[in-house]
Structure 1
Amino acid sequence: MYRITKEFHFSASHQLTSLPREHQCARLHGHNYIVQVELSARELSQHGFVRDYHDLAALKHYIDETLDHRHLNDVLGNDHVTAECLAKHFYDWCKAQLPETSAVRVSETPKTWAEYRP
C-alpha cells in the first residue's frame, strides 16, 4: 500500500461546554491546530502518484475560509468540538472529495494527537 500525507495549519477557538465548569477546557480557549491528511492506494496513477498533492488545495481553501480564526462551536454547530470529532469531520470532508483518504490526524498541542481511521 502506498501512503502520502499532507499537513495543514489553522488557529481557532472552541469550548467544551459539556464538561464541568471547573474543567479548563470548559472555558473558551483556542489552539493552533495541525491537521494531517493521509491518502492511500494499492496502485499508483499513470503519473506515479497516490494523488497529486495539488488536489488537496481544496482542503486548504476550506480550512482558510471556514475554520481559520473562527469559533469552531459556531462553525460546526455543536458543543463537542474535540480533536477526535475534528479528525472525523475532516475525514468525512476529505473522503467525499478524495476517495483515497484513509486517515486524518488532528493536533491541538505539540504533544497530543487524535486520529480517525475507519
Structure 2
Amino acid sequence: MFRITKEYHFSASHRLAHLPDDHQCARLHGHNYVVVVELSARELDGNGFVRDYHELQPLKRYIDDEFDHRHLNDVLGHDRVTSECLAKHFYDWCKSRLPETSAVRVSETPKTWAEYRP
C-alpha cells in the first residue's frame, strides 16, 4: 500500500458549551490547528503518484476560505466542535472529492492529535 500525506494549518476559535462552566474548554478560546490528510492506493497512477499533490489544492482553499480565522461553532453549526469532529468533517469532505482519502488527523496543540480512519 502506498500512502501520501499533506499538512495544512489554520487558526480558529471554538467553544465547547456543553462542558461544565468550570472546564477551560467551555470558554471561548482558539487554536492553531494542523490538518493532515492521508491518501492511500495499492497501485500508483501512470505518473507514479497516489495522487498529484497539486490536486489537493481545493482542500487548501476550503480550509483558508471557510475555517481560517473563523469561529468553528458557527462554521459547523453545532457546539461539539472537537478535534475528533473536525477530523471526521475533513475526512468526509476529502473522501467525496478524493477517493484515495484514507485518514485525516487534526491537532489543536503540538502534543495532541485526533484521527478519523474508517
TM exceeds 0.5? yes
Q: Could you list the runs of 5+ residues in structure 2 that have no partner in the other structure? A: none
How far, CA to CA, are the matches of 2:20 and 2:27 in structure 1?
A: 10
Moved over 3 A (4+): none
Q: How does 1:91-102 map to 2 (within 5 A)?
A: 91-102=91-102
Equivalent residue letter for 1:34: V
Cα offset for 1:10? 0.1
Cα offset for 1:93? 0.3
How far, CA to CA, are the matches of 1:23 and 1:44 in structure 2?
A: 47
The match for 1:39 is 39
The match for 2:110 is 110
SS at match of 1:21: coil
User: Once superposed, what is the RMSD of the aligned Cα atoms?
Assistant: 0.3
Q: Could you list the runs of 5+ residues in structure 1 that have no partner in the other structure? A: none
The match for 1:2 is 2
Q: How does 1:44-83 map to 2 (within 5 A)?
A: 44-83=44-83
Q: Does 1:12 align with 2:29?
A: no
Count of equivalent residues? 118
Equivalent residue letter for 2:102: S
How far, CA to CA, are the matches of 1:79 and 1:22 in structure 2?
A: 17
